[in-house]
């Protein structure tokens, strides 16, 4: 029996496939732009305490994250003289511009750095929003589709049985 909803099925598939593809493209294009802007930040700021950069944090695979997923976050690098090493401190996106160092060696590219930081904030927020819209698709249990298909097959088998029974009743009650 041909599907009664073939047109709707194809339209829905095309629509949702396009939406998921658009979100995927948006998410990865934003990530590529973030990498480019981080490279600019590296060039605009001297290697002193207070520089702002993008740092990539990875997640363990879970229902909300795919394996080896990394998330861009803003950090401020500071040199610890006691430990003789650099330390990164997370910087909230809401106050990112307040953490910009504009004194001394940072003053030369301060205006350009500010524009890059504004764009970085927008791109990271865009990435987070696209990622948040795709997250529910990952939390669907793997056996859910199989269980759903078996339920549909059982229902269709029962429906065919009822149709055959109705056909037999109609044939036996038909006048000769």
pLDDT digits (tens, 9 = 90+) for 66-116: 667 788 999 999 999 998 999 999 999 999 999 999 999 999 999 999 999
Average pLDDT, the chain: 87
Strand order in the sheet with 70-80: 51-58, 70-80, 85-90
Rounded CA separation 43/154 (Å): 64
Helices (H) and strands (E) in the chain, counts: 3, 3
pTM recorded for the entire structure: 0.77
Rounded CA separation 166/160 (Å): 10
Among 70-84, 96-110, 132-146, 151-165, which is the least confidently predicted range?
132-146
Tokens of 112: 């350009």
**Residue 166: pLDDT band with limits 50, 70, 90:** confident
């Amino acid at each position: 029996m041909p599907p009664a909803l073939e047109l709707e099925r194809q339209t829905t598939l095309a629509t949702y496939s396009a939406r998921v593809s658009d979100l995927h493209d948006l998410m990865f294009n934003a990530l590529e732009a973030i990498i480019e802007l981080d490279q600019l930040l590296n060039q605009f700021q001297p290697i002193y305490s207070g520089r702002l950069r993008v740092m990539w944090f990875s997640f363990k695979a879970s229902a909300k994250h795919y394996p080896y997923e990394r998330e861009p976050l803003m950090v401020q690098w500071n040199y610890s003289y006691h430990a003789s090493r650099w330390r990164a401190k997370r910087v909230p996106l809401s106050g990112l511009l307040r953490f910009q160092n504009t004194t001394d060696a940072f003053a030369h590219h301060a205006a350009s750095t500010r524009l890059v930081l504004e764009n970085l904030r927008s791109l990271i927020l865009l990435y987070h929003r696209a990622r948040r819209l795709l997250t529910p698709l990952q939390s669907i249990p793997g056996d859910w589709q199989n269980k759903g298909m078996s339920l549909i097959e059982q229902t269709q088998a029962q429906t065919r049985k009822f149709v055959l029974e109705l056909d037999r009743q109609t044939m036996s009650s038909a006048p000769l």
